[in-house]
């Protein structure tokens, strides 16, 4: 009887954790929806920043909209957020980014390998 109660307790805990993880993922996806300003890029080689590109000037900055229907609003590519991977999917291409930070006002994503990578910094403007 004690074993049965113990097994049931473990199952309830595991199921509860899965539901919490689903809710957390839903919240992250909702935070991603909006207009984002790409304002900085860091280039890294062997884990060290080798160059920082600031895009503060409006003519060089990139503004993009992520909407909740799964595309960017420009309909050029779709997006999918799974755990800490943001996938951008076009008709003939796709790229996976590692989400380093996602809050209601900040998005930092990274692409590349341990030897060479790029980190993109965004701030929400809407």
Q: Which domain holds residue 80?
A: 2-124
pLDDT of residue 47 exceeding 70, the answer is yes
Q: Which CATH number goes with the domain that contains 35?
A: 2.40.128
3-state secondary structure of 7: helix
The answer to whether the beta carbons of residues 120 and 108 sit under 8 Å apart is yes
Our count of domains for the chain comes to 1
This prediction's pTM: 0.70
How many other C-beta atoms lie within 10 A of the C-beta of residue 102? 19
Strands (E), the chain: 34-45, 48-54, 62-66, 78-82, 85-89, 94-102, 106-112, 116-124
Q: What's the whole-number mean pLDDT along residues 94-121?
A: 93
pLDDT of residue 19 exceeding 60, the answer is no
Instruction: Please indicate whether residue 24 or residue 67 has the higher confidence score (pLDDT).
Output: 67
pLDDT of residue 106 exceeding 90, the answer is yes
| Structure confidence at residue 120 as a pLDDT band (50, 70, 90) | very high
């Amino acid at each position: 009887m004690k074993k049965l109660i113990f097994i049931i307790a473990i199952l309830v805990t595991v199921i509860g954790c899965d539901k919490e993880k689903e809710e957390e993922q839903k919240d992250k996806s909702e935070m991603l929806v909006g207009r984002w300003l790409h304002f900085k890029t860091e280039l890294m080689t062997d884990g060290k920043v080798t160059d920082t590109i600031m895009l503060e000037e409006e003519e060089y900055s990139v503004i993009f909209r992520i909407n909740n229907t799964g595309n960017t609003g420009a309909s050029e590519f779709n997006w999918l957020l799974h755990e800490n991977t943001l996938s951008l999917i076009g008709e003939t291409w796709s790229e996976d980014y590692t989400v380093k930070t996602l809050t209601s006002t900040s998005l930092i994503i990274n692409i590349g390998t341990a030897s060479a990578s790029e980190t993109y910094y965004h701030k929400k403007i809407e």
